[in-house]
Structure 1
Amino acid sequence: MPDNTSSTPDFLYRITIDGLPVEMECLRTGAIYLINFDEWDDCTLLLRQILRKADVSTRGVLITTSDASASVQRMQDTISAHDLRTFRFIEGSLTALKTLTNDLDATIRPHQRTIILMLPESVTSQISQEHRRAILASAQQWIAKNDCAALILSTGGNLTRNSSAMLENNDLLAGLVHLTRISETQLEYRCAYWRSALGVTGVRNLSIIQKVDELHVQADMTAQDPMPTVADGNRYIIERSVLKDFGQIHEAGWEIIDSREQVYERARQQVNATVIFALNSFQQLPEIARLIHSLRRERGPLIKLVVRESISQLRLRDEQNLLDCGATLVLGTDLSYTRFKSLLENIQTVRYTRELSQSVDSLFPEEDIRGVHGVVAPSTFLTRVHARIKQDLKDSRQTGAKNGASKANKKSMEFLGLLVSMQPVPGLSAQQALNQLNIRRFEDLACSVADEVYVFLHGCLPEVVPAVLQQLFRLPFDEIFINHTVFEDLSSIQGALQHIEERMSQLDDVPQASTDPATESAPGENAIRYAPQRVRLSLV
């Protein structure tokens, strides 16, 4: 996604661990950062990720020992896209480390570059506390003079055992992190402090998961909430299309941004602000849910995350899923500006207390968004509805087992949606009635059997059925059908599906009229017809 942090120079690298808070991934000029590892392989793993995800505008210097030369050689395809100079100093040589800045001045023009220094245990084990501070002080002056930033990636227990001594160097180190491997795929990212152009971060303990050769933040294990990087409690960051129904809006503290990606990047710098996304189509739902989930996981419980829909397609299940993904509030389309503003003011003291879902994909499966929908054959209708019922029952049982659901909320857990049976007005065939349908929401299905129309509305509440049907049909619903029956519980839905199967079996035994549009009977063709008469009109 596009970077919107203009306060960070383009030539600086970032700690590009997916899900890392933005103020912890940024560096600043004139500063030195240290990340210590227990294992050399983890050091090279993170370095590869940093280089692979670097922007083309970054400019750096990578300095390694012979221990790392093979790893660097394997990164050539990764680093060819941006300006990175690579050097190697003699393994285990403390003297080479002390003269490093002089050697760089003699070799390259280091101005405005990120200096990445990989130090294996063979080097770090030789550095005493006295030497460490002297080297850091000299390096810090050189870094500031050249408008650079330095990232030291070190391994070895010497630094780990003397972590308290490293904290004493906080005036020389802008950031101090230790990355520990817990298991084959699990790591712990322990940040003592991190100062960047976006603010200061104190102690943070993050659970990291490794997926193939990528590191991702899994959870924030910090006991306390992160402190705001700025006083952002009265700040509103709003996607422009959210306000399209309200005309020109000018409110103090409202930052109106054109694109969703820019809103997301801006929100990554906030802790207590209100962020509002626009949902303009049902297909955007999984994307927005992922952005909200990422922000909630990264920014904590204080930030207010709001979704406003402009499509009138969300149902109770969708809203609940958005809330489980981290949303504070979901707003509908029929809101006056006064009501809209009032609802936003009401959530300013709200703290997110729900249990955040572990996976967005489980709440918004890809097959739900891109699956079959609209008018289908009766056999397809039966197959899809049965499959939907089976899947939802499985999901509800898993949710109930996890949350310890009581009998009081068991019915809501097993809520699947509902089935509607409709009989067209005389003279209008079921097929012609279906032609007036405009289903845009996936997993909403319709079919016709004999003289009846059936519609399955996934996640719909019984009390809103008339309003939903009015939206689905191009013509007024009550002018197309003389009556309709709503099957809202599991047993009645299954009974209606059985009735459809029986009607299909009966129709299989009777010769069917052609459904070709060219031969289909027109409405009222059996009514009395009058023969046309030729008349002559006189011209006046």
Structure 2
Amino acid sequence: MQRPRVSPDPIRADASTSERRASLVAAVRDAFALRATEANRLAIDALPDQLADLSPGRLYAIYARMGWPGCNALLWDTVREARSRHVTVVLASTRAAAAERMRERGFAPGVAALGWPRRLNVLAMPQASQAAEHAEPANERASSHAARPAFAHLFGALRALKRFGFRSHALYFVEHAERWFTWSDPDVLAREGRLLANWCEARKITLVLLLDSTLDAEAGADKDALAREDRFSMHANSADRREFHGACTGVAHLHRTHGELLWRVDFWRSGHALTTGEVHSLRFTEAGRLTVAPELAAAPAAQAAMSRLAGDEERVVATRAVVRDERWVPAEWTVADDYDAVHVACTGAVATTVLLDYTDGASLEALCATVHTLRRQCGRALKIVVVERGEVLRHQYELLLLSLGANLLLGRDLPFSRVQSLLRSLQGQVDTRPVATDYKAALAAALTDAVRGYLPVAAFCERAQAVLERGAQLSLPHVLAKLPLLPQVSHLEAMKSCKPRRAGDVFTADEANLYVFLFACRLPDADAALAHIFDVPVERWSDRLVYLAEASIAREVKALAEANRRAPIADYSDVFPAASTQVAVAVSASASASTPAQRASGKAGLKVGPRKHDIERAREAASQLQAVEAILAHIDGESVRANSDADPGTENEAAADANRGTDAQAAERAPTSMAMPRRRAERHMMPLVRGRGETT
């Protein structure tokens, strides 16, 4: 028996279809309503929810530098992942500039950009008037603020946004929102903040104000990246803004400090929880997103390797001289022709690796200027590497470049594969050393005057003290070698064997010791330096060699100067004219005629020696000195023989007449330009060597 077929009731079928459609629409509406009521979140990976939630109907203030990669990543990644259907971004730029920024993110006319909110509005609100305002002098700016009515900017901005409609549970981001408020009057600023917070709560609108601290009067004049990074406490924490911040649900700072990007929270409310004083280091992922720096002990090695200080940390810029002799260079490297081209290539760089070449001393000043400028303009995350491609850097030049901001110095014989390995070791590091304010002053401290050889005790002490004071900012090491002379050793014999070859190395002597000041010499290199200075082994003159460094030099020099003031120590300048005064004069004259690069590098002082006529004059002075010494010895012998017969007064008069006669004869024999000063025999505790092992 078959069951009869029953025809469906059309009225009933239409009713069931309508019910299903209505239930589907209600479910979709509820889903969208639930999504709209959910809190949005800042796009910083691994940031705790209590520091990242954006609750509906709340006002937030984030201080950041507009245009930085970190600020752009925070803004656009948060907008892309917003849970609200209606998202509005107010850009502080012209319409053409705003359209260009949107094209960079995949938007084009007639093409739907996937992954973005369907109701995304991007508005352009130029800030030409604001830029003109900050170009005014401070007194005129204050008077204009005082004359401007309260709430004028805020009401004008909200009226401009009203044209595009306000939606409940919408999310708003406003760039350069500081132009909406009256910062000159704390009371008016607090009232504006409370009014805006009440407006957001009444309309259930989440408003995030992006405040650019660089437009402030204090930070606007600060163009130095290092000064901006090193100033951790920002002007935004001033007492004038506390009431304004109290109207906000959260206040945070996104800025670089000592080369590292930080998310610093003054306070942040999430539900019933309040978090204050949190600081998190941020990194960039390979996709360009912000993430909290992983803890080295807990994070996987792969995750730690993918995090970067900035998006350009994998970029390398090198001068052509660095890679000139290499057969293969990575294709992703940027090769610049010279230092000026490196400046252009590093515009806007944050963590790029820069390779600069050192060829010879003539390029030292330009190299110092480049290193200092890059460090000051780009900040502490930039990696600056100096590679030797000619001469070897002297020790004081290494310290100079490190004090100006260089991260690493590489030798000229280092293989290119090792260079790449060392560059990889710099990834993730920031430069934390103090950087000199003026590179010219640091360069002057690393260079020395073109003086070498013998100096009198007073001049020796003055020069040593000046060199120590000038090199203190570089922590430049020096060595003072003290050689107590053996009893049978003549001072002149020991000093004549001391022949410094480097500018800045000087020596002197007192009654019992020979002092040698080694400029920019490390203590382990002192033995080798003395071996180059003395033409015979040092053990021949002294059996006990004492090296002084750092503070010990200052104490020894001070004691030597005090002893010279109490009892003047013998001066041997007439024996060593070409080694001290004449060389210094010749070098200074040549340096004045040399190029600025040569003067900065010290090449003129190193290459220029005593002139031919200076050597002849020195030889003539030495011969005259020998003649005077012989006459004095003859007079002393005659006076001793006549001592028993002559009256003491007559003897003294005769000796005086003889001395005047010999002095006159010596002056007549000497040229007018080289007239020797009158020299009298001085009693001195110095043995006179007559033969092997015989002294008197």
Q: Relative contact order: is structure 1 or structure 2 higher (C-alpha 8 Å, sep ≥ 6)?
A: 1
Q: Greater helix percent: which structure? A: 2
Q: TM-score, normalised by structure 2?
A: 0.39
Q: TM-score, normalised by structure 1?
A: 0.49
Q: Greater Rg, structure 1 or structure 2?
A: 2
